[in-house]
């Protein structure tokens, strides 16, 4: 029987991507805040990535957490080969990759603390969707966290129509043709004043931004089925999985709904599914990455804001809205966060800094409460990121900048790097030689000379400092 999804992945290489929102350090904090009592710690856990492609996401996790175990499965032979070669080249022996079809693969006797299915549910045929949720449930440890991402309705509905029309248009062919066509459609739609046409123009513009490399696997893929939130809940419920919340705390409050609008929806919160569906309708969000646990997992229903005190935090925005910082304690805490930036520091350490600044006026109980309440809200609003572990990042590069072993391997292959926060870092072709030279053998002057020679358009010093802020030069 023909399998267009399999054909696509055997013919085209899926881009190498890492996903910060599917990082166990982030999932651990998000799941605890939504009531999971003792989420697994990334430093000592087992992770399964279903549909791991060439392993970019998993390899970087394996390097970061040497005492944890990682396993990826994918039915693309070439992707698995690439992933294995990278693990071997870097000497990572805590990650394995298996060529397998998720519809047949069995997890074995040891369960996984984190099961990741990123970019899968919407993009596989119907019988595979059910098999995927079955595999997620079967392989998940009793206190484990499952991550499932999917395109979301009703936000995706107009995009689905646009993609269907685009696929039907005869001119679609080489990449340039597709880009020209999207440009023309965007410009034509933008000429009309109607809200509908403006929305459509924005969809075409966004498709152009994604580019043909991603579009082929998303809007224009053989399978690209969006879900209502309730539909995913139904699939999960059939496998006895319970919804925990979204993978990042801000994901629970869609960004384009202001707090005033949210207050008007408070009465809906008694029915969480209706509440979430209403948020999806009003925000028009097109994507979700949802977390699940086993239905019989005990949850802490009285979760308080104090859970955030166990994590690490970093500032995500350079300036906060007016009145966002209120009171002396919160002011000092925010200053400690800003001083640690761009790194992520443990909240107890940040609180110790505050205590030192406040001296005898520091009252532990009152201060903890003020900080926990503020930090919880700040994390939900996306001002601060919470994660389970500290992450090293600096404002300046070391004297001889050196990427980690895995990133050096990626640089040699011409693949994107993965920063300390698990964000994918792409470089233009002309900058690749400078990236490869970040191997710890060159000082800044030498690197500057290489940049002048190989990449005259590169503004070298701010560029190097930017890489440092992304934690790309781990301490030796
Ligand atoms: C959209 S890509 C997502 C890759 C990766 N998870 C990410 O998000 O970066 C889907 C991946 O799933 C794999 N895949 C699709 N159907 C599969 C199946 N039935 N069994 C195993 N792998 C499958 C494809 O080969 C491809 O690598």
How far does residue 59's CA lie from ligand 1's centre (Å)?
A: 16
Report in angstroms the alpha-carbon separations of 270 from 193, 241, 266, 277, 452.
Answer: 39, 20, 8, 13, 61
Q: Length of the chain, please? A: 476
Q: Are 335 and 357 a contacting pair, CB within 8 Å?
A: yes
| Per-residue pLDDT at 190 exceeds 90 | yes
Ligand 1 centroid to 168 CA: how many Å? 25
Q: Which atom of ligand 1 is nearest to the CA of 57?
A: 9
Q: Return the percentage of the chain with pLDDT > 90, whole number.
A: 79
Residue 303 has pLDDT above 80, yes or no: no
What would the pLDDT profile of 87-97 be if each residue is shown by its tens digit? 999 999 999 99
Partners of 316 in beta bridges: none
Confidence of residue 2 (pLDDT cuts 50, 70, 90): confident
Nearest residue (CA) to ligand 1, atom 1: 119
Top CATH class of 4-153+226-294 equals alpha beta
Mean pLDDT, rounded, for 418-440: 96
CA 450 to CA 463: how far, in whole Å?
A: 14
* Distance of alpha carbon 404 from alpha carbon 392, whole angstroms: 13
Distance, in Å, from the CA atom of 157 to the CA atom of 51, rounded to the nearest integer, reads 25
- Which pLDDT belongs to residue 1? 63
Assign 176 a pLDDT band (cuts: 50, 70, 90).
low
* pLDDT score of 476 more than 90: no
For residue range 347-363, what is the model confidence (pLDDT) as tens digits?
Answer: 999 999 999 988 888 89
> What ranges do the domains of the chain cover?
4-153+226-294, 157-215, 306-387, 405-469
- CB contact set of 101 (below 8 Å; sequence gap of 6+): 75
Q: In the structure encoding, which two tokens stand for residue 110, read together?
A: 């040891």
Among 323, 313, 280, which Cα is nearest to 379's? Answer: 313
Which tokens belong to 5? 């999804």
Closest CA to 93 of 102, 101, 84, 105: 84
- Ligand 1: residues within 6 Å at CB? 5, 9, 14, 17, 51-53, 57, 74-76, 79, 101-103, 118-120, 123-124, 128, 217
Q: What's the confidence (pLDDT) of residue 207?
A: 94
Distances from the Cα of 468 to the Cα of 243, 384, 403, 411, angstroms: 37, 20, 10, 16
Q: What's the CA-to-centroid distance between 53 and ligand 1, angstroms?
A: 6
Whole-structure pTM over 0.75, yes or no? yes
Which residue's CA lies nearest to atom 14 of ligand 1?
51
């Amino acid at each position: 029987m023909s399998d267009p999804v399999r054909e696509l992945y055997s013919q085209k290489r899926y881009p190498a991507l890492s996903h910060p929102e599917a990082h166990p350090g982030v999932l651990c904090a998000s799941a605890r805040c939504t009531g999971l009592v003792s989420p697994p710690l990334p430093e000592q856990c087992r992770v399964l990535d279903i549909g791991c492609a060439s392993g970019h996401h998993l390899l970087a996790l394996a390097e970061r957490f040497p005492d944890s175990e990682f396993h990826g499965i994918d039915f693309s032979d070439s992707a698995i080969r690439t992933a294995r070669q990278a693990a071997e080249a870097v000497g990572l022996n805590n990650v394995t990759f298996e060529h397998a079809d998720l519809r047949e693969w069995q997890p074995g006797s040891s369960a996984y603390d984190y099961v990741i299915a990123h970019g899968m549910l919407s993009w596989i045929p119907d019988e595979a969707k059910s098999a995927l949720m079955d595999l997620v449930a079967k392989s998940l440890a009793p206190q484990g966290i499952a991550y499932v991402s999917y395109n979301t309705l009703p936000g995706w509905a107009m995009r689905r129509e646009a993609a269907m029309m685009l696929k039907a248009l005869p001119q679609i062919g080489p990449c340039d043709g597709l880009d020209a066509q999207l440009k023309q459609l965007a410009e034509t739609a933008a000429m009309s004043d109607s809200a509908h046409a403006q929305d459509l123009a924005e969809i075409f513009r966004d498709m152009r931004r994604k580019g043909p490399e991603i579009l082929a696997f998303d809007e224009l893929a053989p399978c690209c089925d969006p879900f209502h939130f309730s539909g995913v809940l139904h699939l999960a419920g059939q496998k006895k999985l319970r919804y925990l919340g979204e993978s990042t705390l801000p994901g629970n409050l869609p960004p384009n709904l202001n707090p005033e609008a949210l207050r008007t929806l408070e009465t809906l919160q008694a029915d969480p599914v209706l509440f979430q569906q209403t948020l999806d309708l009003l925000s028009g969000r097109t994507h979700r990455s949802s977390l699940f646990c086993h239905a019989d997992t005990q949850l802490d229903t009285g979760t308080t804001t104090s859970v955030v005190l166990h994590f690490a935090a970093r500032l995500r925005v350079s300036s906060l809205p007016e009145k966002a910082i209120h009171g002396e304690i919160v002011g000092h805490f925010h200053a400690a966060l800003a001083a640690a930036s761009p790194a992520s520091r443990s909240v107890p350490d940040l609180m110790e800094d505050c205590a030192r600044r406040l001296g005898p006026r520091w009252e532990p109980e009152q201060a903890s409460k003020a900080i926990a309440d503020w930090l919880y809200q700040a994390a939900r609003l996306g001002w601060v990121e919470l994660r389970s572990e500290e992450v090293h990042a600096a404002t300046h590069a070391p004297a001889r900048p050196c990427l980690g072993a895995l990133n050096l391997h990626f640089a040699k292959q011409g693949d994107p790097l993965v920063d300390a926060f698990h964000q994918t870092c792409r470089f233009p072709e002309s900058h690749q030689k400078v990236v490869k030279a970040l191997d710890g053998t060159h000082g800044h002057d030498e690197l500057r000379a290489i940049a002048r020679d190989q990449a005259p358009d590169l503004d070298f010093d701010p560029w190097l400092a930017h890489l440092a802020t992304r934690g790309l030069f781990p301490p030796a």
